[in-house]
Structure 1
């Protein structure tokens, strides 16, 4: 895991499935747990889903909050 992986969680949208278009950081725990049971897809998306599942399972989602705020540093949208 590295900082870039954490940043990807708050910027990359789920590319397929029931939650297509939702940020990976915003996927519900039960969905992440389903992947953990059934198997994560190959490649970057699978690696990021596995990371997000670990963060969610261990109650560490608040660690992503500073990255979310940094991504919105340009100020409020008009």
Structure 2
């Protein structure tokens, strides 16, 4: 059951879109890394969005964007 929960969380991250601002409606993986770094310096929004942005910065910094893009294609939103 734990692995299913992790899979659901990962798929949520993969399909999460920016809800406001200049990049409203874009997937977090499509945000420029400089934008995510700026939020890290100024403070992430509270809650799920902030946690997802922080995770996405780590993913992008580690060069794992292709993995996220692949997951978006293999597990589209139903």
Instruction: Specify the TM-score bucket, using the shorter chain as the normaliser.
Output: 0.7 to 0.9
SS of 2:15's partner is coil
Match for residue 19 of structure 1 among 3, 18, 23: 23
- Give unmatched runs, 5+ long, in structure 2: 1-5
Counterparts of 1:20 and 1:43 in 2: how far apart (Å)? 17
Give CA-to-partner distance per residue, 1:26-72, whole Å, 9 cap, x none. 11111111111111111000000000011111211122133112134
Query: Does residue 38 in structure 1 map to residue 42 in structure 2?
Result: yes
Moved over 6 A (4+): none
Counterparts of 2:20 and 2:69 in 1: how far apart (Å)? 24
Mapping of 1:32-71 within 5 angstroms? Answer: 32-71=36-75
Partner of 1:5: 9
TM-score (norm 1): 0.78
TM-score (norm 2): 0.78
Bigger proportion of residues as helix:
2
